[in-house]
Amino acid sequence: MIEIDGSYGEGGGSVLRIATALSAVTSKPVHITNIRSGRPKPGLMAQHMNAVKAVAELSNASVEGLEVGSTDITFTPKSLNGGVYKIDIGTAGSISLILQAFMIPAAFANSPVKIRITGGTDVRWAPSVDYVENVTLPILRLMGYKAHIHIIRRGHYPRGGGILEIEVEPITKLMPLNISDLQFDCICGISHSVKLPLHIAERQAQSAENILQSKGYKSKIIIKGSQNAIGPGSSIFLWTNGITPVSGSAVGEPGKKAEKVGSEAAKQILYHISRRSAVDKYMGDQLIPYMALAGGSCIKTSELTQHALTNIHITEKFIDKKFRVNGIIGEAAVIMVD
Protein backbone atom coordinates (compact mmCIF):
# COMPACT_ATOMS: atom_id res chain seq x y z
CA MET A 1 0.00 0.00 0.00
CA ILE A 2 1.50 3.30 -1.12
CA GLU A 3 0.92 6.14 1.36
CA ILE A 4 0.29 9.63 -0.03
CA ASP A 5 -0.06 12.84 1.98
CA GLY A 6 -2.68 14.83 0.09
CA SER A 7 -1.41 18.09 1.57
CA TYR A 8 2.01 17.72 -0.06
CA GLY A 9 3.19 20.61 -2.25
CA GLU A 10 0.30 22.60 -3.65
CA GLY A 11 -2.01 20.15 -1.86
CA GLY A 12 -4.85 20.35 -4.35
CA GLY A 13 -6.90 17.93 -6.38
CA SER A 14 -4.01 17.02 -8.68
CA VAL A 15 -2.46 14.91 -5.90
CA LEU A 16 -5.64 12.82 -5.82
CA ARG A 17 -5.96 12.62 -9.62
CA ILE A 18 -2.36 11.59 -10.30
CA ALA A 19 -2.20 9.13 -7.40
CA THR A 20 -5.37 7.25 -8.34
CA ALA A 21 -4.50 7.28 -12.06
CA LEU A 22 -1.03 5.81 -11.47
CA SER A 23 -2.44 3.36 -8.95
CA ALA A 24 -4.75 2.09 -11.70
CA VAL A 25 -1.92 1.83 -14.25
CA THR A 26 0.55 0.09 -11.93
CA SER A 27 -2.02 -2.00 -9.98
CA LYS A 28 -0.52 -0.65 -6.74
CA PRO A 29 -3.12 0.19 -4.05
CA VAL A 30 -2.87 3.64 -2.51
CA HIS A 31 -4.01 5.30 0.72
CA ILE A 32 -4.38 9.10 0.43
CA THR A 33 -4.81 11.24 3.56
CA ASN A 34 -5.23 14.98 4.22
CA ILE A 35 -6.97 15.45 0.88
CA ARG A 36 -7.18 19.18 0.08
CA SER A 37 -6.67 19.86 3.80
CA GLY A 38 -5.47 23.41 3.24
CA ARG A 39 -8.41 24.48 1.08
CA PRO A 40 -11.33 26.61 2.36
CA LYS A 41 -13.53 23.53 1.88
CA PRO A 42 -11.24 20.57 2.61
CA GLY A 43 -11.81 17.10 1.23
CA LEU A 44 -13.45 15.80 -1.91
CA MET A 45 -15.74 18.07 -3.91
CA ALA A 46 -18.11 16.60 -6.53
CA GLN A 47 -15.52 17.07 -9.27
CA HIS A 48 -12.79 15.22 -7.34
CA MET A 49 -15.14 12.44 -6.27
CA ASN A 50 -16.23 11.84 -9.84
CA ALA A 51 -12.63 11.77 -11.08
CA VAL A 52 -11.87 8.97 -8.63
CA LYS A 53 -15.15 7.25 -9.50
CA ALA A 54 -14.29 7.29 -13.22
CA VAL A 55 -10.83 5.80 -12.64
CA ALA A 56 -12.28 3.26 -10.19
CA GLU A 57 -14.86 2.05 -12.73
CA LEU A 58 -12.19 1.80 -15.42
CA SER A 59 -9.86 -0.23 -13.17
CA ASN A 60 -12.55 -2.24 -11.36
CA ALA A 61 -11.21 -0.77 -8.10
CA SER A 62 -12.64 -0.85 -4.63
CA VAL A 63 -12.61 2.54 -2.92
CA GLU A 64 -13.09 3.33 0.75
CA GLY A 65 -14.06 6.85 1.79
CA LEU A 66 -15.40 7.99 -1.59
CA GLU A 67 -17.88 10.70 -0.59
CA VAL A 68 -18.06 14.49 -0.74
CA GLY A 69 -16.02 16.03 2.08
CA SER A 70 -13.86 12.95 2.66
CA THR A 71 -10.18 13.69 3.38
CA ASP A 72 -9.07 10.04 3.43
CA ILE A 73 -9.52 7.35 0.77
CA THR A 74 -8.11 3.92 0.04
CA PHE A 75 -8.00 2.94 -3.63
CA THR A 76 -7.39 -0.71 -4.59
CA PRO A 77 -7.39 -1.32 -8.37
CA LYS A 78 -7.72 -4.58 -10.29
CA SER A 79 -7.73 -4.82 -14.10
CA LEU A 80 -8.14 -2.00 -16.62
CA ASN A 81 -11.22 -2.83 -18.63
CA GLY A 82 -12.33 -1.18 -21.85
CA GLY A 83 -15.95 -0.32 -22.50
CA VAL A 84 -18.38 2.56 -22.30
CA TYR A 85 -18.51 4.78 -19.21
CA LYS A 86 -20.66 7.71 -18.12
CA ILE A 87 -20.00 10.35 -15.48
CA ASP A 88 -22.35 13.21 -14.53
CA ILE A 89 -20.58 15.65 -12.22
CA GLY A 90 -23.93 17.20 -11.32
CA THR A 91 -22.35 20.68 -11.12
CA ALA A 92 -20.22 22.91 -13.36
CA GLY A 93 -17.15 21.05 -12.11
CA SER A 94 -14.44 20.74 -14.74
CA ILE A 95 -14.74 17.92 -17.27
CA SER A 96 -11.09 18.45 -18.21
CA LEU A 97 -9.84 17.78 -14.69
CA ILE A 98 -11.65 14.44 -14.66
CA LEU A 99 -9.98 13.62 -17.97
CA GLN A 100 -6.57 14.43 -16.47
CA ALA A 101 -7.03 11.40 -14.21
CA PHE A 102 -9.02 9.15 -16.54
CA MET A 103 -6.90 9.49 -19.67
CA ILE A 104 -3.71 8.14 -18.07
CA PRO A 105 -4.97 4.60 -17.35
CA ALA A 106 -7.48 4.56 -20.24
CA ALA A 107 -4.67 4.14 -22.76
CA PHE A 108 -3.64 0.85 -21.15
CA ALA A 109 -7.06 -0.79 -20.94
CA ASN A 110 -7.59 -4.23 -22.48
CA SER A 111 -9.90 -2.82 -25.19
CA PRO A 112 -11.10 0.58 -26.49
CA VAL A 113 -12.54 2.99 -23.94
CA LYS A 114 -15.30 5.54 -24.45
CA ILE A 115 -16.45 7.93 -21.75
CA ARG A 116 -19.22 10.54 -21.77
CA ILE A 117 -18.85 13.25 -19.11
CA THR A 118 -21.44 15.86 -18.18
CA GLY A 119 -20.28 18.99 -16.32
CA GLY A 120 -18.33 22.19 -17.00
CA THR A 121 -16.52 22.62 -20.31
CA ASP A 122 -15.29 26.19 -19.77
CA VAL A 123 -14.73 27.12 -16.13
CA ARG A 124 -12.23 29.18 -14.19
CA TRP A 125 -9.11 27.58 -12.65
CA ALA A 126 -9.16 24.60 -15.02
CA PRO A 127 -8.20 23.89 -18.64
CA SER A 128 -11.10 24.11 -21.06
CA VAL A 129 -12.15 21.19 -23.24
CA ASP A 130 -10.63 23.16 -26.13
CA TYR A 131 -7.29 22.81 -24.35
CA VAL A 132 -7.67 19.04 -24.24
CA GLU A 133 -8.55 18.92 -27.94
CA ASN A 134 -5.98 21.37 -29.29
CA VAL A 135 -3.03 21.13 -26.88
CA THR A 136 -3.14 18.00 -24.71
CA LEU A 137 -4.03 15.44 -27.37
CA PRO A 138 -1.69 16.74 -30.12
CA ILE A 139 1.25 16.52 -27.71
CA LEU A 140 0.27 13.10 -26.37
CA ARG A 141 -0.07 11.81 -29.93
CA LEU A 142 3.66 12.46 -30.31
CA MET A 143 4.06 9.77 -27.63
CA GLY A 144 1.78 7.32 -29.45
CA TYR A 145 -1.39 8.12 -27.51
CA LYS A 146 -4.53 7.44 -29.57
CA ALA A 147 -7.74 9.31 -28.79
CA HIS A 148 -10.51 11.38 -30.37
CA ILE A 149 -12.66 13.96 -28.64
CA HIS A 150 -16.16 15.25 -29.38
CA ILE A 151 -17.56 18.36 -27.70
CA ILE A 152 -21.32 17.84 -27.77
CA ARG A 153 -22.51 20.77 -25.68
CA ARG A 154 -20.90 23.64 -23.79
CA GLY A 155 -21.42 24.01 -20.06
CA HIS A 156 -20.52 27.14 -18.10
CA TYR A 157 -20.57 28.12 -14.44
CA PRO A 158 -22.85 27.98 -12.50
CA ARG A 159 -25.23 25.57 -14.29
CA GLY A 160 -22.81 23.26 -16.09
CA GLY A 161 -24.55 20.71 -18.27
CA GLY A 162 -21.78 20.54 -20.85
CA ILE A 163 -21.25 17.19 -22.54
CA LEU A 164 -18.03 15.72 -23.90
CA GLU A 165 -17.17 12.30 -25.26
CA ILE A 166 -13.69 10.88 -25.70
CA GLU A 167 -12.66 7.58 -27.25
CA VAL A 168 -9.27 6.11 -26.35
CA GLU A 169 -7.65 3.23 -28.23
CA PRO A 170 -5.44 0.88 -26.21
CA ILE A 171 -1.65 0.91 -26.57
CA THR A 172 1.05 -1.25 -25.02
CA LYS A 173 3.57 1.51 -24.35
CA LEU A 174 4.25 5.22 -24.75
CA MET A 175 7.16 6.61 -26.74
CA PRO A 176 9.65 9.01 -25.12
CA LEU A 177 9.04 12.70 -25.71
CA ASN A 178 11.93 15.08 -26.40
CA ILE A 179 10.87 18.64 -27.15
CA SER A 180 12.52 21.94 -26.30
CA ASP A 181 12.01 25.04 -28.45
CA LEU A 182 8.70 26.53 -29.57
CA GLN A 183 8.10 26.79 -33.31
CA PHE A 184 4.97 28.05 -35.07
CA ASP A 185 3.80 30.44 -37.78
CA CYS A 186 0.23 31.28 -36.77
CA ILE A 187 -2.03 31.56 -33.73
CA CYS A 188 -5.34 29.74 -33.97
CA GLY A 189 -8.38 30.34 -31.82
CA ILE A 190 -11.99 29.61 -30.92
CA SER A 191 -14.21 32.33 -29.49
CA HIS A 192 -17.68 31.20 -28.53
CA SER A 193 -20.83 32.40 -26.84
CA VAL A 194 -23.81 30.22 -25.91
CA LYS A 195 -27.28 31.55 -25.12
CA LEU A 196 -25.78 35.01 -25.57
CA PRO A 197 -25.58 37.40 -28.55
CA LEU A 198 -23.01 36.38 -31.16
CA HIS A 199 -21.36 39.81 -30.98
CA ILE A 200 -19.88 38.81 -27.60
CA ALA A 201 -17.82 36.07 -29.25
CA GLU A 202 -16.95 38.47 -32.10
CA ARG A 203 -15.74 41.17 -29.70
CA GLN A 204 -13.66 38.68 -27.71
CA ALA A 205 -11.99 37.57 -30.92
CA GLN A 206 -11.42 41.07 -32.27
CA SER A 207 -9.86 42.24 -29.02
CA ALA A 208 -7.46 39.28 -28.99
CA GLU A 209 -6.58 39.69 -32.68
CA ASN A 210 -5.81 43.39 -32.24
CA ILE A 211 -3.26 42.60 -29.54
CA LEU A 212 -1.71 39.65 -31.37
CA GLN A 213 -1.39 41.55 -34.63
CA SER A 214 0.16 44.54 -32.84
CA LYS A 215 2.93 42.15 -31.76
CA GLY A 216 3.43 40.91 -35.31
CA TYR A 217 1.63 37.56 -35.09
CA LYS A 218 -0.79 36.18 -37.65
CA SER A 219 -4.00 34.89 -36.15
CA LYS A 220 -7.10 33.01 -37.24
CA ILE A 221 -9.90 32.87 -34.68
CA ILE A 222 -13.12 30.99 -35.40
CA ILE A 223 -16.37 32.51 -34.09
CA LYS A 224 -18.95 30.11 -32.70
CA GLY A 225 -22.43 30.78 -31.36
CA SER A 226 -25.01 28.34 -30.07
CA GLN A 227 -28.27 28.06 -28.17
CA ASN A 228 -27.50 24.44 -27.29
CA ALA A 229 -26.73 24.92 -23.60
CA ILE A 230 -28.41 24.89 -20.21
CA GLY A 231 -27.10 28.32 -19.25
CA PRO A 232 -25.34 31.30 -20.85
CA GLY A 233 -21.58 31.72 -21.09
CA SER A 234 -18.63 32.62 -23.26
CA SER A 235 -14.91 31.98 -23.55
CA ILE A 236 -11.98 32.29 -25.91
CA PHE A 237 -9.16 29.82 -26.41
CA LEU A 238 -5.94 30.48 -28.37
CA TRP A 239 -3.12 28.13 -29.37
CA THR A 240 -0.06 28.15 -31.60
CA ASN A 241 -0.16 25.91 -34.68
CA GLY A 242 3.21 24.22 -34.20
CA ILE A 243 3.97 20.58 -33.44
CA THR A 244 3.80 21.38 -29.72
CA PRO A 245 1.21 24.12 -29.13
CA VAL A 246 1.17 26.61 -26.26
CA SER A 247 -2.01 28.40 -25.27
CA GLY A 248 -3.92 31.29 -23.77
CA SER A 249 -7.53 31.45 -22.63
CA ALA A 250 -10.12 33.40 -20.69
CA VAL A 251 -13.71 32.83 -19.59
CA GLY A 252 -16.50 35.40 -19.72
CA GLU A 253 -18.24 36.46 -16.50
CA PRO A 254 -21.27 38.62 -15.72
CA GLY A 255 -20.22 42.27 -15.87
CA LYS A 256 -16.89 41.50 -17.56
CA LYS A 257 -16.53 43.15 -20.96
CA ALA A 258 -15.93 40.87 -23.92
CA GLU A 259 -12.92 43.01 -24.89
CA LYS A 260 -11.28 42.25 -21.55
CA VAL A 261 -11.88 38.52 -21.99
CA GLY A 262 -10.16 38.62 -25.37
CA SER A 263 -7.23 40.69 -24.12
CA GLU A 264 -6.62 38.33 -21.18
CA ALA A 265 -6.37 35.33 -23.51
CA ALA A 266 -4.03 37.19 -25.87
CA LYS A 267 -1.74 38.32 -23.06
CA GLN A 268 -1.56 34.80 -21.65
CA ILE A 269 -0.50 33.20 -24.93
CA LEU A 270 2.00 36.01 -25.56
CA TYR A 271 3.53 35.25 -22.15
CA HIS A 272 3.95 31.59 -23.07
CA ILE A 273 5.35 32.51 -26.49
CA SER A 274 7.89 34.86 -24.88
CA ARG A 275 9.43 31.91 -23.02
CA ARG A 276 10.16 30.13 -26.35
CA SER A 277 9.48 26.77 -24.72
CA ALA A 278 7.86 23.75 -26.36
CA VAL A 279 5.09 23.38 -23.77
CA ASP A 280 3.17 25.87 -21.67
CA LYS A 281 3.14 25.76 -17.88
CA TYR A 282 -0.05 23.68 -17.79
CA MET A 283 1.31 20.87 -19.97
CA GLY A 284 4.55 21.12 -18.01
CA ASP A 285 2.81 19.46 -15.07
CA GLN A 286 0.28 17.31 -16.96
CA LEU A 287 3.02 15.49 -18.89
CA ILE A 288 4.86 14.24 -15.79
CA PRO A 289 3.09 10.85 -15.40
CA TYR A 290 3.23 10.19 -19.16
CA MET A 291 6.96 10.96 -19.20
CA ALA A 292 7.57 8.47 -16.39
CA LEU A 293 5.52 5.77 -18.11
CA ALA A 294 7.48 6.28 -21.34
CA GLY A 295 10.88 6.87 -19.77
CA GLY A 296 13.79 8.75 -21.30
CA SER A 297 11.83 11.95 -21.94
CA CYS A 298 12.91 15.59 -21.78
CA ILE A 299 10.74 18.70 -22.15
CA LYS A 300 11.22 22.44 -21.84
CA THR A 301 8.30 24.17 -20.14
CA SER A 302 7.57 27.89 -20.22
CA GLU A 303 7.23 28.02 -16.43
CA LEU A 304 8.11 25.54 -13.71
CA THR A 305 5.16 25.32 -11.30
CA GLN A 306 4.57 23.83 -7.88
CA HIS A 307 2.02 21.60 -9.60
CA ALA A 308 4.81 20.07 -11.68
CA LEU A 309 7.03 19.44 -8.66
CA THR A 310 4.11 17.92 -6.77
CA ASN A 311 3.30 15.62 -9.70
CA ILE A 312 6.95 14.53 -9.85
CA HIS A 313 6.86 13.65 -6.14
CA ILE A 314 3.68 11.57 -6.56
CA THR A 315 4.80 9.90 -9.78
CA GLU A 316 8.13 8.75 -8.35
CA LYS A 317 6.24 6.88 -5.62
CA PHE A 318 4.56 4.65 -8.20
CA ILE A 319 7.11 4.36 -10.99
CA ASP A 320 10.78 3.53 -10.49
CA LYS A 321 12.06 6.50 -12.48
CA LYS A 322 13.89 9.62 -11.29
CA PHE A 323 13.23 13.14 -12.56
CA ARG A 324 15.74 15.95 -12.88
CA VAL A 325 14.74 19.59 -13.13
CA ASN A 326 16.96 22.37 -14.45
CA GLY A 327 15.30 25.62 -13.45
CA ILE A 328 13.42 27.35 -10.65
CA ILE A 329 9.73 27.90 -9.94
CA GLY A 330 8.34 30.76 -12.00
CA GLU A 331 10.92 30.48 -14.76
CA ALA A 332 11.34 28.41 -17.90
CA ALA A 333 12.77 25.01 -17.04
CA VAL A 334 13.91 21.69 -18.49
CA ILE A 335 12.35 18.56 -16.97
CA MET A 336 13.99 15.19 -17.64
CA VAL A 337 13.27 11.62 -16.57
CA ASP A 338 15.62 8.63 -16.60
Single out the catalytic residue among 48, 156, 192, 307. 307
Neighbour order of strands in the sheet with 30-33: 2-5, 30-33, 73-76, 62-64
Q: Are 6 and 71 in contact (CB under 8 A)?
A: yes
**Short-list 182, 183, 180, CA closest to 327:** 180
CA distances in angstroms from 218 to 187, 214, 279, 286, listed in the order given: 6, 10, 20, 28
Q: Name the helix (H) or strand (E) containing 151.
A: strand 146-153
| Under 8 Å between Cβ of 66 and 50 | no
How far apart CA 336 and CA 306 sit, in angstroms, is 16
Q: Which residues contact 15 (CB under 8 A, 6 or more apart)?
A: 4, 6, 8, 9, 32, 35, 310, 314
Q: Are 336 and 308 in contact (CB under 8 A)?
A: no
Asked if residue 269 lies in contact with residue 211, where contact means CB atoms within 8 angstroms, the answer is no
**115-142 exposure pattern, b = at least 16 Cβ within 10 A, e = fewer:** bebbbbbbbeebbbbbbbbbbbbbbbee
Does residue 307 have an active-site annotation? yes
Q: Could you tell me how many helices (H) and strands (E) the chain has, helices first?
A: 10, 16
Catalytic annotation, residues: 307
